[in-house]
Amino acid sequence: MNKLNVSIIGVPMDHGQMRRGVDMGPSAIRYAGVVDRIENLGHAVNDEGDIHIRKADGKVDENTNLRNMDVITEATETLGEAVSGVAKAGNFPLVLGGDHSIAIGTLAGISEHYENLGVIWYDAHADMNTSETSPSGNIHGMPLAASFGHGHEKLTKIRGYSPKVKPENIVIIGARSVDPGERELIKEHGIKVFSMHEIDKMGMDHVMQESIRYLREERKTDGVHLSLDLDGIDPMYTPGVGTPVPGGISYRESHLAMEMLFDAGLITSAEFVEVNPILDEKNRTADVAVALIGSLLGEKLV
């Protein structure tokens, strides 16, 4: 197994949605032992600390239908710079959220270093709303759309360029709550989606084999970013998330997915988001995040 230099960046931000507490996600994941878990696998770990997040008023702007946009764009610019620096140094960026709006910054920093970046979006939601389609104005429902160039210019042009990823280089896994506007974008751009229907019908092994084949052989990506929202997993295993959706991916299926990604040597950066300790039960959701990070980085049951 190749040993990595893993750089952890925490993003304690909860401004992309309405439920407080997800800003404590990075601390919860650290408390659950993420550094020890990674080091025990033989990797080197450098904890870069947390991105500073300033306060926001929580209001939706009447002109843009976006909540806390200025604070989020400021934070994602800072995150993008930090992630880019980690990648430039040849280290593996591991970003801990925080709500999923942080992915705008993560992808802005990562994609600068790849000619044909792929993205695996492991999530109950497509996160492809824009200010025109969002019923809430919450930016944590928009990062994937913004990353391939749809949405307000302040969100799409983080670090001065757009898009960060081609829509045909995206694979969504675990979707089961998709808004009408998101469905239209998925159809328009031919985005590959494995919903819970496909996972139930074909099994996680087939879904992951097809995802890996698609990104490696068909799309010929030179790097793949994993963006894992803990609400992609069924809430019976991850109760501490802000937007739980029943009927999700199982704990064991998720470990299988991470193990297969490790075996394929596909993932070049990752983020784990939406851990909310206030909604959790004895830090269970953070424990799941740490266990999945272990599997992604090479931990085996035997």
**pLDDT tens digit sequence for 15-70:** 999 889 999 999 999 999 999 999 999 999 999 999 999 999 888 888 899 999 99
Percent of the residues in the chain that have a pLDDT greater than 70, as a whole number: 99
Span 121-149, average pLDDT: 95
- In angstroms, the CA 155 to CA 276 distance is 24
Class of domain 5-296: alpha beta
Percentages helix, strand, coil for the chain (3-state, rounded to 5) are 45, 20, 35
Span 114-118, average pLDDT: 98
Rounded to two decimals, what is the model's pTM?
0.97
Kindly list the catalytic residues: 100, 123, 125, 127, 140, 229, 231, 274
Residue 274 Cα distances to 121, 188, 211, angstroms: 13, 28, 23
Annotated binding site: 100, 123, 125, 127, 229, 231
What are the structural domain ranges in the chain?
5-296
- Would you say 278 and 24 are in contact if contact means Cβ atoms under 8 Å apart? yes
* pLDDT tens digits along 248-262: 999 999 999 999 999
Four-CA torsion 131, 70, 178, 191, nearest 10 degrees: 90
Confidence of residue 1 (pLDDT cuts 50, 70, 90): low
- Would you say 257 and 206 are in contact if contact means Cβ atoms under 8 Å apart? no
Straight-line distance from the first to the last Cα atom of the chain, in angstroms, rounded to the nearest whole number: 15
Secondary structure E strands in 155-241: 170-175, 192-195, 223-229
- Would you say 54 and 46 are in contact if contact means Cβ atoms under 8 Å apart? no
Whether the pLDDT of residue 2 is over 90: the answer is: no
